[in-house]
């Protein structure tokens, strides 16, 4: 059976790695902190001493880590996967990274003979664990076709946006628009709360109104209830994604992306207080009465 190396076992990566075991692949795993691998090891995964050790002999190397710095380290660091990966192996970067990093990493890995796909995902950790992610792929059509057996265990929908980097462009605009919606929602709800509206009626009206989206509906309930249990997406990750999107916008658009920059500022504030809490918690900062 084909051999997969999976690197990064956080909220998303842990469930994704388990899908390769479910599908019968031989799996090697590495995570910065080993404890998150324990149950995967008990299910048959091989614990690797480093990203390079995981990548040894792998047909596909899949990474799901936090950001550019983490991605750089697990691929191109001294013990990085690229140091030993066999030529023609698939390099599948699922982390949400900046567009610039996706292009530079793609260039570095391709020059070593790897077949690189930028493959950020949408879907929450439960979708990661059940193989129902949407994969946003940037790659040559041929590489995507050959890589499909390594993608279908984790993704039920595969969208091919074009060459390397294009999956990341879509992922960044998706998460930027989400950032703007959620920050706007927090301000709208804060105004309603401080004006003394019946928040049950406000929620009901949002759900049936034109500004509702699945994300707005989910976060509006959590914000009003101040229920931030089971954080799926943190202020820190959202801030990172929105910042990467603004950098991309600034390189493409004539005028500064004003609304996007405001969303980054809102998440900067949220991250300063509670970086690892659910992104919806920003309502607590915003919904305070005027002194």
Interacting residue ranges for ligand NAP, rule: CB under 6 A? 8-13, 31-33, 36, 64-66, 69-70, 73-74, 95-96, 121-122, 124-125, 232-233, 237, 241
Q: How far is the CB of 71 from ligand NAP (least distance, A)?
A: 8
Nearer residue to ligand NAP within complex by CB, 129 or 202: 129
Tell me how far, at minimum, the Cβ of 172 lies from ligand NAP, in Å. 10
The residue among 119 and 189 lying less far from ligand NAP, judged by its C-beta, is 119
The residues near 160 (Cβ < 8 Å, ≥ 6 apart) are 137, 139, 141, 144, 167
Exposure string of 250-275, with b = 16+ CB inside 10 Å and e = fewer, is eeeeeeebeebeebbebbeebbeebe
Closest CA to 81 of 159, 3, 182: 3
Q: Which is nearer to ligand NAP, 13 or 18 (CB)?
A: 13
Residues 6+ apart with CB under 8 A from 66: 8, 10, 95, 237, 240
Catalytic residue check, 171: yes
Shortest Cβ 48–ligand NAP spacing (Å)? 13
Nearest distance in Å: CB 238, ligand NAP: 8
Q: Which of 132, 171, 200, 290 is catalytic?
A: 171
Give the nearer residue to ligand NAP in terms of CB position, either 68 or 193: 68
Catalytic residues: 171
């Amino acid at each position: 059976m084909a051999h997969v190396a999976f690197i990064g076992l956080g909220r998303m990566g842990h469930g994704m790695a388990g899908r390769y075991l479910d599908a019968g692949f031989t799996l090697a795993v590495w995570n910065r902190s080993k404890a998150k691998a324990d149950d995967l090891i008990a299910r048959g995964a091989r614990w690797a001493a480093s990203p390079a050790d995981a990548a040894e002999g792998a047909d596909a190397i899949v990474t799901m880590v936090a950001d550019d710095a983490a991605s750089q380290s697990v691929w191109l660091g001294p013990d990085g996967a690229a140091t030993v990966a066999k030529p023609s192996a698939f390099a599948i970067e699922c982390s949400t990274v900046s567009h610039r990093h996706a292009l530079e990493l793609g260039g570095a890995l391709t020059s070593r003979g790897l077949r690189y796909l930028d493959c950020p995902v949408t879907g929450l950790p439960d979708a990661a664990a059940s193989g129902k992610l949407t994969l946003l792929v940037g790659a040559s059509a041929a590489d995507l076709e050959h890589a499909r057996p390594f993608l279908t265990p984790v993704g039920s929908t595969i969208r091919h946006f074009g060459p390397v980097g294009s999956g990341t462009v879509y992922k960044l605009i998706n998460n930027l628009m989400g950032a703007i919606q959620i920050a706007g929602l927090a301000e709208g709800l804060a105004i309603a709360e401080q004006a003394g509206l019946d928040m049950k009626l406000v929620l009901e009206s949002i759900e049936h109104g034109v500004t509702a989206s699945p994300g707005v509906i989910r976060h509006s309930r959590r914000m009003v209830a101040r229920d931030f249990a089971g954080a799926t997406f943190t202020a820190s990750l959202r801030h990172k994604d929105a910042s990467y999107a603004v950098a991309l916008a600034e390189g493409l658009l004539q005028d500064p992306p004003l609304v996007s920059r405001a969303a980054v500022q809102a998440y900067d504030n949220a991250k300063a207080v509670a970086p690892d809490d659910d992104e919806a918690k920003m309502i607590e900062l915003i919904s305070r009465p005027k002194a």
